[in-house]
A and B are shown apart, each in its own frame.
Chain A
Amino acid sequence: MNNLNETLIPKVGVITDVRIDTPDIKTFRVVTTDGEKAFDHRPGQCAMLSVPGVGEAMFSITSSPTNEEYMEFSIKKCGCVTDWLHQAEKGQQITIRGPYGKPFPVDDVFAGKDLLFIAGGVGLAPLRSVINYCRHYRDRYGKIDIVYGSRSKDDLLDYQEIIEEWQKDEGVNVYLTIDNPQEGWDGHVGFVPNYVKELSFDTNKVAVICGPPIMIKFTLDGLCDIGFDKTDVYTTLELRMKCGVGKCGRCNVGAKYVCKDGPVFRCDELEELPDEY
């Protein structure tokens, strides 16, 4: 029986690098004890990380599948597992299982289209995987616009990568914004939903929104105001999860389990679900 695959039994992972991104977000690099990637994944999928004795929690795999060496997770400190991880050093072992969830339709729906990514706070974590996937296969996609906002300059995730790589790419435009004016910041100031409306993108593209629930709601309304159709807008949901495979009964919205039918949803599909997320 021990040879029977069991999704609940994780693998041992090793933290090989810890990057401090913001005052409460760190990005962890993880490989197996053999120094390899724990498993293959698609952009938008998640993994369960755990610290035995502390707990298990779901995180977006923020690195792109095109990175063949390791996986990365951007983790915000907010409870037992995340507090513990924030104290962990290089070489610390954790456990990892996955991948879980339905990915973004990068190879069909997104192919050949102009793309608009909109993120708030740690919501950039799942989008970074897609953005870097699309940058890797640059010729498969049209123009890429990225709107990203945070409370302050110090709260912007992946700032170095955005400045040094994304902004320098041809056909990629990055629009950063922070909630309030701050010394040393000469960029845009204001909330993401308003900024998106101001930027008044043409609507012939696919949009992806990721962030806190309230930001998603207002941004979606804003996109609809400027003429986007909900069938062209994708987002991700975040509900409490335990199993990751639609069995523990925890993460459903109506008849859909976010862990297995999501976390990626098209906004018109989302609208069909009861308002309980």
Chain B
Amino acid sequence: MRKCSLDKLDLLLGEIAKSNELYLPVDDSDGSAVYKKWEKGTALSDALNTVRSPKDFFFPQTENLMEFKMQGKNIEIIDTRSELEDFVIFGVRACDVKSFEILDRVFLSEPVDSYYAMRRSHGVIISLACTRPAETCFCKTFGIDPASPSGDISAWKTESEIFFEANNEKGEALLSSLGALLQDCDNEAVEAQKAKINAIMDKLPLKNLTTEGFGGGKTAELFDDPHWAELSEACLGCGTCTFVCPTCQCYDIKDFNTGNGVIRFRCWDSCMYSDFTKMAHGNNRLTQKERFRQRFMHKLVYYPENNDGLFSCVGCGRCLAKCPISMNIVKVMKTIGGDKGE
């Protein structure tokens, strides 16, 4: 374990930024936090978490895949992938770090998505333990410990100091490169900090929310649950929940005509949209009920079925905060799974 005093944090970030692009949560003008590139004077936000999840770093909202040049009947395909520089994301919360593992299982399984893989291999993640988990947090439901975030390096912030622990070689290399800015220390302060965080977690309203009743193999039992109709009734199909969600992975592939060629790009898509599965001979998810059910069945049943029981939700609470009609996965879990929360 190594540490530095908080008044030296700026120096430390500056040192990291010397050799890597560095991103961290920063207060936006409206008071919410967003990931921004560090420049001299940039201060780490004190907010619990960013409005947008950090999935953009590895799976950007839009990304060019390739280009085509056309001449008469001929086509030339241009591979536009290029080598990336290493970059560091500082201050990622435990829930969001876990979301990378969930996306990894999709994009890094065969055939590997090289666009995602390239970003992932160049990103160094410095996680940061939460100091003030909020009422919308339920990461513990999914076995995530906000006091012990993973990542290449884990960090803890106390009133006056910041502590670091490398979790792998990549993390160790970065910490070592910071030399004298960090001092070795024991883990007493960090243990005290963990106990504080856990005490807060124990008082949160969603602390008893359980995944019991969900998981792989539950399709037959849950698919025809009568409650899907009332739960989805007011859903606008706006897709906000899927866009803010760190684990939502659906994408579309589109072409853009530039005038002297074509750029093929991918962009986030949403299973909540009415045309998501539309085909010439019909649509297999005709109403919002089917689309709504798909989103939650995927996170709570289908994904775990294909991924050794791992759920595709990290309890970050973003969808609780952002849905315009206040519908969310917690309400779904309490209603469909039987009311075991609160």
Contact = CB atoms under 8 A, between A and B. Distances in A.
Interface of A: 1-2, 4-12, 52-56, 78-79, 89, 91-95, 212-213, 238-240, 242-243, 245-255, 272-274, 276-277
Contacts of B77: 9-12, 95
Contacts of B284: 239, 253, 276-277
A117 B266 CA distance: 38
5 contacts: A1-B82, A53-B257, A239-B277, A250-B250, A254-B297
A248 B306 contact: no
Interface in B302-339: 302, 305-306
Interface residues of B, number: 57
- Tell me whether chain B's interface is mostly helix, strand or loop, or mixed: mixed
Contact of B250 (A9, A54, A56, A249): A249
Given A252-B298, A277-B284, A95 B250 contact: no
A56 B65 CA distance: 14
A92 B109 CA distance: 35
A54 B68 CA distance: 12
B215 to A, nearest CB: 11
Interface string B255-290: 101000010101001010000111111101100001
Contacts of B68: 52-53, 95
A197 B282 CA distance: 28
B107 interface: yes
B208 interface: no
Interface centre among A2, A7, A10, A255 (most CB of B within 10 A): A255
Interface of B: 65-66, 68, 70, 73-77, 79, 81-84, 106-107, 109, 111-115, 117-118, 216, 219-220, 223, 249-253, 255, 257, 262, 264, 266, 269, 271, 276-282, 284-285, 290, 294, 297-298, 301-302, 305-306
Given A93-B74, A276-B284, A255 B251 contact: no
Contacts of B282: 213
B227 to A, nearest CB: 16
Contacts of B280: 78-79
B73 A213 contact: no
Nearest to B242: A249
Contacts of A254: 219, 223, 297, 302
Given A1-B84, A53-B70, 5 more contacts: A242-B251, A249-B250, A255-B219, A255-B306, A276-B285
A1 B118 contact: yes
A255 B253 contact: no
A67 to B, nearest CB: 24
B114 A1 contact: yes
A207 B341 CA distance: 49
Given A53-B70, A240-B279, A249-B251, A94 B81 contact: no
Nearest to B217: A255
Given A53-B262, A242-B251, A247 B107 contact: yes
B108 to A, nearest CB: 10
Contact of B252 (A10, A11, A248, A253): A248
A78 B279 CA distance: 10
Contacts of A78: 280
Contacts of B305: 255
A249 B285 CA distance: 14
Given A53-B68, A248-B251, A248-B253, A92 B73 contact: yes
B262 A52 contact: yes
A52 B70 CA distance: 8
B257 A248 contact: no
Contacts of B106: 246-247
B82 A52 contact: no
